[in-house]
Structure 1
Amino acid sequence: MEDLMGYAYYTVTRADGIEIEAGYAVEAVCEQDGCTEPIDRGVDNLCGSWPGTPDDGCGGYFCSRHLGYRDWESEEPQPENCKSCFEKRD
């Protein structure tokens, strides 16, 4: 996957070896335990910077309430993370 812009549907293999459907046209539910917020599996809802097995997140998909943790003071570009991944970065 060279360019993620415009990708409505694709598959990725997660770190646990499970292949999932992803893309902004793939309907899903937030992966935070207990959350039932409908989302899509586009990169806007991704924890990390690259679908599948990012080295800067878990590769899960979350609603806006459970994604968006980052060091806002840093001048380095950072992906958005879920709370669990953000806390592991410290």
Structure 2
Amino acid sequence: MGNAHYTVTRPDGEQIEAGYDVAAVCEQDGCTLEIDRGLAYLCGSTPGTPEDGCGGYFCSRHLYTDWEMPSDEPQPQNCLPCIDKRP
């Protein structure tokens, strides 16, 4: 089981509260769906680490898995801009 509540420092230095017990709204422009800031809604795989995503939190309508990316490892979910940035 994950952490219900913790602090994440985003790459730009902004600190936010995260975890599956933290209520939020999808960060996609114009979307108002309520989510939480748990890993299920994270763009990437590690909070606060931009190595495989932007670290934003998005509803299931705005997170995607790039099944075309060859790998034996589990693929992170990403927002569309992050998928578009992949080589």
| CA-to-aligned-CA distance 1:2-58 (integer Å, 9 cap, x gap) | xxx330000000000000000000000000001000000000000001001230000
2:10 to 14, 32, 36: 14
Which consecutive aligned stretches of 4+ in structure 1 deviate over 6 angstroms post-superposition? none
- Looking at structure 2, the residues matched to 21 and 73 of structure 1 have their Cα atoms a distance apart, in angstroms, of 31
What is the Cα deviation at residue 72 of structure 1?
Answer: 4.7
The equivalent residue for 1:39 is 35
Return the structure number with greater helix share. 2
What is the aligned residue count? 86
User: How high is the TM-score relative to the length of structure 2?
Assistant: 0.91
Return the structure number with greater strand share. 1
The equivalent residue for 2:80 is 83
Identity of aligned residues (%): 66
Q: Is the 8 A contact 1:69 1:83 kept in 2?
A: no
Aligned partner letter, 2:11: A
What is the root-mean-square deviation in Å for CA atoms of aligned residues? 1.3
- Structure 2's unaligned 5+ residue stretches are none
User: How high is the TM-score relative to the length of structure 1?
Assistant: 0.88
